Amino acid sequence: MTETRWLNEVTWDDQGLVPVIAQDADTGDVLMFAWMNRDALARTVETGEAVYWSRSRRKIWHKGEESGHVQRVREIRLDCDGDVVLLKIEQEGGIACHTGRRSCFFTRLHDGAQWQAVDPVLKDPKDIYK
Amino acid sequence: MTETRWLNEVTWDDQGLVPVIAQDADTGDVLMFAWMNRDALARTVETGEAVYWSRSRRKIWHKGEESGHVQRVREIRLDCDGDVVLLKIEQEGGIACHTGRRSCFFTRLHDGAQWQAVDPVLKDPKDIYK
C-alpha cells in the first residue's frame, strides 16, 4: 500500500485543491502557477514529473503531454500554512508557457501604469501544439 | 485622477482576488504566497511596498506593519492569463515568514513520503511580534 499520510498534511481548499508554484531549480526563475488536487500531487511524486489539475478543463493534466515540455521535479516544498506547494523543476525544452515563452510571467508593469510583454517568444505555439 | 486601467487588465477571481507570489529580487528565492484585491495591488504600487489582502482576517494587510519586515517592490509581473501576480522584492530583515524563517517554504518532502522542516529559524517569533 502506498504511504499517503504526507498527502493528509496538505491543507486542501474547499474544492480539494492547492496552488502550486513551479520554479526553475537552477536559475530560480518562477515559470508557472497552477493547481493540484490530491491525485495530481500523488502522481507528481510517483512519476517525478509535474501533474496538475486543470480547473478550466476539470481534469488531470500531465504538463507537457501535448507539447513535450514536461517538468522534472527535483524538490517539493510546502509553505508554513501547508496550503501552497512549491516545485523546483527542470523544464524540458526551456519553455513552460503555452505562448512559447520560457516563463508565464513575461508581462511587467511599467511605470506603475502599463503592462508590457518583455520576454521573447522562443518557439511559435503553432510549432509546439501540432 | 489616478490611472487605473492597468488594474482592469488583471483577471480577478470570483472573490475579487488574485494570488501573489513574492520572490527575492536578488536571490530568486520564493519567500511567500498571499492574495491581493484591487485596493491592495493599487496600494502596493502607490507605496512601493507589498500590501496584501488577508483572507482570514478579511482586511488589507501592509506586510511588515507589525514585524517591520516590509517588502520593497522592485518589479511587478503578471502571468499569461492575467490571473497571477509575481512580485520581485527586497525583504527587510531577511525574514518573510511569521515563523521567523527567511521563506515560508521551509518544509521539504523527503523521499516522497515525509515533510521535513529544513530551513533554520533566524529570529524567535516572540521577538518579532512584541
* pLDDT confidence tier of residue B4, bands split at 50, 70 and 90: confident
Cα dist from B93 to A56, A100, B67, B126, whole Å: 40, 37, 9, 15
**Per the annotation, does B124 bind a ligand?**
no
CB A128 within 8 A of CB A69: yes
> pLDDT per residue over B39-59, tens digit each?
999 999 999 999 999 999 999
Q: In the predicted model, is pLDDT for residue A20 greater than 80? A: yes
> pLDDT per residue over A32-90, tens digit each?
999 999 999 999 999 999 999 999 999 999 999 999 999 999 999 999 999 999 999 99
pLDDT at B2: 60
**Per the annotation, does A81 bind a ligand?**
yes
Cα dist from A82 to A85, A105, A126, B60, whole Å: 8, 24, 38, 22
Q: Out of A30, A45, A82, whose CB is closest to B21? A: A30
> pLDDT per residue over B56-87, tens digit each?
999 999 999 999 999 999 999 999 999 999 99
Q: Structural domain of residue A18, as residue ranges?
A: 5-128
Tell me which chain B residues have a C-beta less than 8 angstroms from the C-beta of A104: 79-81, 84
pLDDT at A1: 46
A14 — phi, psi (to 5°)? -70, -10
Residues of A with CB under 8 A from a CB of B: 3, 5-6, 9, 19, 21, 23, 27-30, 32-33, 45-46, 75-82, 84, 86, 97-99, 101, 104-109, 112-115
Q: Smallest Cα–Cα separation from B10: which of B52, B46, B38? A: B38
Pairing state between β A51-54 and A114-117: unpaired
CB B119 within 8 A of CB B94: no
Chain B residue with minimum CA distance to A33: B84
Q: In the predicted model, is pLDDT for residue A107 greater than 60? A: yes
Contact B80 A97 (CB under 8 A): yes
* pLDDT confidence tier of residue B129, bands split at 50, 70 and 90: confident
CB B34 within 8 A of CB B52: yes
**Per the annotation, does A79 bind a ligand?**
yes
* pLDDT confidence tier of residue B1, bands split at 50, 70 and 90: very low
Tell me which chain A residues have a C-beta less than 8 angstroms from the C-beta of B45: 109, 112
Burial of B127 (0-12, 13-18, 19+ CB in 10 A): exposed
- CATH number, domain of B31, equals 3.10.20.810
Q: Among all chains, which residue has been given the C-alpha cell 521573447?
A: A120
Compute the mean pLDDT over every residue in chain A, rounded to the nearest whole number: 96
Compute the mean pLDDT over every residue in chain B, rounded to the nearest whole number: 96
CB A87 within 8 A of CB A81: no
Contacts 24+ apart (CB under 8 A), B48-52: B48/B72, B48/B73, B49/B73, B50/B20, B50/B22, B50/B87, B50/B89, B52/B20
pLDDT at A3: 66
Q: Smallest Cα–Cα separation from B70: which of B82, B79, B60, B62? A: B62
Mutate to test the interface with B, among A32, A69, A109 (most CBs of B within 10 A): A109
Give the count of domains, chain B. Answer: 1
Q: Out of A77, A84, A114, whose CB is closest to B108? A: A77
Percentage, residues of chain B above pLDDT 70 = 98
* pLDDT confidence tier of residue A4, bands split at 50, 70 and 90: confident
3-state secondary structure (DSSP) of residue A43: helix
